Amino acid sequence: MADNKLWSRSFSRLWACEGVSVLSAQMLIFALPIVAVSTFQATDAQIGLINTFVGLGLLTFLIVGASLTDLRRQDKLLGALSLARAMICGFAAFAAATDALALWHLLIIGFAISGMTALYDSAFSAVVPQVIHTHYLGKANSWIAALRSAADIGAGSLAGILLSYTGSATLFCLLMVFYAIASIGPFSLRPIFKRKPKLHSSNHHVFSQIMGAREGIRFLLSDPIQRPITLAIAHFNLFTSAIQALYVVFALRYANLSAAEIGVSASIAGVVGLCGVFISDWSIKKIRPVVLLSVTLALPVLSGAGILILPLLDQFASMLVLSASLGLWACAVLVNVAASETLKQQLVPEAILGRVSAAIRLLTWGVDPIGAGIATLAVLYLPIHSVLMISIIGIGASVSWLLTSSQLRQLSPTPTSN
């Protein structure tokens, strides 16, 4: 049974371990290209291959393993995924310490860790409503979304320091410990899930439904609430990934900012983004979903405009505007994620919540490499300013999916569970 308060022992442990998991995943993704370059003198094409394997891992695990996210004992699944990631990092640490680490190992590590993390996040989303009372879901999802902003602040710096001063073996060893710690929270939920009734469609036919992501996608395509929200976020992410692929180069070459100044701006933006925690719960309870989701998808248009005017500013002003732009973006995304997660947890049946979460991630995260690839090709034929402008307009157009949904427009700030 869900606890009738936010910071119960169950949620506190789960939230803390989720923070460790998010930090570890972002440290690893940040570190893999650096290890490839510093250890194996990897070419640009090989770095691109590592990133490709990371994306393929996410898509493969979500497609093949989506049914697993609705197992009755989701506590065991979450714990097992954390321990499996710990074992992989332990292997990498041993290989690095004995000079046996190879470039192809990094491909497999990126593939497996990103895929397991995607499954973990999908199952985690289905677990939250079972340990938190519905009244506190908005606030809980706000604090969970804040973990990613917090990890953005420290993951790159921590990984960079470890690689610079201690080497890759130490980094992988620390990640092994982190993932082992992350398993404690899910395993501590054993009393809750031991009492959970069996769900026929998810527990008895896991292997016959190994392509369970299809069920989640079918639900999304037929559901009048989740369909427009998912399409809007996928649309938003497509153009967001295009901007993310180009804004660093734009700031370096046209705004004359250094890599360090861009890094400082990103860290400041992460702190600003955390402010979304303090407004998201109130917003979810007081503002109609169509308005809240539309505003939070539209606000990054202002952020994109701020990035576009960087070449017109002096160096200090450019840093301030970049920090404010990225911070507003992070804050808007945090509130949007908290609101959309809360709606999903309130309206999607528990029996398929994990599979629906996996399908949503498949559709909304799967467009990221597409957007980045299109942007990379576009700058071969268009000025980078034009590509950024088109991407900004594309972000603004994402709200059309929400505004044209009559069912979503009628939804109240506190919908009841179905």
Q: Can you give the residue range of the structural domain that contains 278?
A: 218-409
Q: Alpha-carbon Rg of the chain, whole angstroms?
A: 21
What per-residue string of b and e applies to 374-390 under the rule 16 or more CB within 10 Å gives b? bbeebbeeeebeebbee
Is residue 171 domain-shared with residue 262, that is, in the same domain? no
Nearest to 143 by CA among 27, 15, 270, 17: 15
Burial-class residue 27 by CB neighbours within 10 Å (0-12, 13-18, 19+): buried
Is residue 156 domain-shared with residue 303, that is, in the same domain? no
- pTM here is 0.75
Please state the separation of Cα 150 from the chain's center in Å: 12
Among 158, 179, 211, the domain-final residue is 211
pLDDT of 350 above 90: no
Q: Which residues contact 171 (CB under 8 A, 6 or more apart)?
A: 27, 31, 35, 159, 162, 163
pLDDT of 364 above 70: yes
pLDDT class for 207, splitting at 50, 70, 90? very low
151-165, 281-295, 343-357: range with lowest mean pLDDT: 151-165
Q: Which residues contact 126 (CB under 8 A, 6 or more apart)?
A: 69, 70, 74, 350, 353, 354, 357
pLDDT class for 113, splitting at 50, 70, 90? very high
Is residue 106 domain-shared with residue 71, that is, in the same domain? yes
Query: In this predicted structure, what is the pLDDT of residue 202?
Result: 44
Task: Quickly tell me which residue has 């002096």 as its tokens.
Answer: 314
Angstrom distance (rounded) from CA 348 to CA 215: 13
154 or 404, greater pLDDT: 404
Residue 415 lies in a domain: no
Domain containing residue 27: CATH number: 1.20.1250.20
Burial-class residue 44 by CB neighbours within 10 Å (0-12, 13-18, 19+): exposed
Q: Which residues contact 300 (CB under 8 A, 6 or more apart)?
A: 236, 240, 328, 329, 332, 333, 395
63-77, 127-141, 152-166, 192-206: range with lowest mean pLDDT: 192-206
Residue 395 lies in a domain: yes
Query: In this predicted structure, what is the pLDDT of residue 394?
Result: 96
Residue 117 lies in a domain: yes
What average pLDDT does range 140-165 have in this prediction? 77
360-363 contact pairs (CB < 8 A, 24+): 360/216, 360/220, 360/226, 360/230, 360/233, 361/58, 361/62, 361/118, 361/121, 361/122, 362/59, 362/62, 362/63, 362/66, 362/213, 362/216, 362/217, 363/217, 363/220, 363/230, 363/234
Angstrom distance (rounded) from CA 355 to CA 121: 11
Angstrom distance (rounded) from CA 385 to CA 254: 10
Is residue 232 domain-shared with residue 344, that is, in the same domain? yes
Query: In this predicted structure, what is the pLDDT of residue 58?
Result: 82
Burial-class residue 298 by CB neighbours within 10 Å (0-12, 13-18, 19+): middle
Burial-class residue 176 by CB neighbours within 10 Å (0-12, 13-18, 19+): buried
pLDDT of 51 above 80: no
pLDDT in tens, 306-342: 999 999 998 889 999 999 999 999 899 999 998 998 8
308 or 145, greater pLDDT: 308
pLDDT class for 287, splitting at 50, 70, 90? very high
Query: In this predicted structure, what is the pLDDT of residue 67?
Result: 63
Is residue 28 domain-shared with residue 82, that is, in the same domain? yes
pLDDT class for 290, splitting at 50, 70, 90? very high
Among 187, 211, 235, the domain-final residue is 211
Contact, 398 vs 236, CB < 8 A?
A: yes
pLDDT of 295 above 70: yes
pLDDT of 354 above 90: no
Query: In this predicted structure, what is the pLDDT of residue 212?
Result: 57
pLDDT of 44 above 70: no
Query: In this predicted structure, what is the pLDDT of residue 204?
Result: 44
Residue 3 lies in a domain: no
Q: How far is CA 366 from CA 113, 219, 363, 370, in A?
A: 16, 18, 5, 8
pLDDT of 392 above 90: yes
pLDDT class for 418, splitting at 50, 70, 90? very low
pLDDT class for 18, splitting at 50, 70, 90? confident
- What 3-state class would DSSP assign to 181? helix
Tokens describing residue 170: 């130490």
Is residue 176 domain-shared with residue 299, that is, in the same domain? no
Angstrom distance (rounded) from CA 230 to CA 364: 7
Among 188, 211, 234, the domain-final residue is 211
Highest mean pLDDT out of 16-25, 205-214, 223-232, 342-351: 223-232
Please, what is the average pLDDT of the chain? Answer: 82
Angstrom distance (rounded) from CA 231 to CA 397: 12
Kindly state the percentage of the chain with pLDDT values over 70. Answer: 86
Residue 78 lies in a domain: yes
Is residue 191 domain-shared with residue 112, that is, in the same domain? yes
Query: In this predicted structure, what is the pLDDT of residue 61?
Result: 84
Is residue 344 domain-shared with residue 373, that is, in the same domain? yes
Question: Domain total for the chain?
Answer: 2
Is residue 195 domain-shared with residue 60, that is, in the same domain? yes
Query: In this predicted structure, what is the pLDDT of residue 45?
Result: 63
Is residue 252 domain-shared with residue 142, that is, in the same domain? no
Residue 4 lies in a domain: no
Nearest to 25 by CA among 233, 178, 251: 178
Is residue 168 domain-shared with residue 295, that is, in the same domain? no
Amino acid identity of 87?
A: M
69: left (phi over 0), alpha (psi -120 to 50) or beta: alpha
32-36, 115-119, 294-298: range with lowest mean pLDDT: 32-36
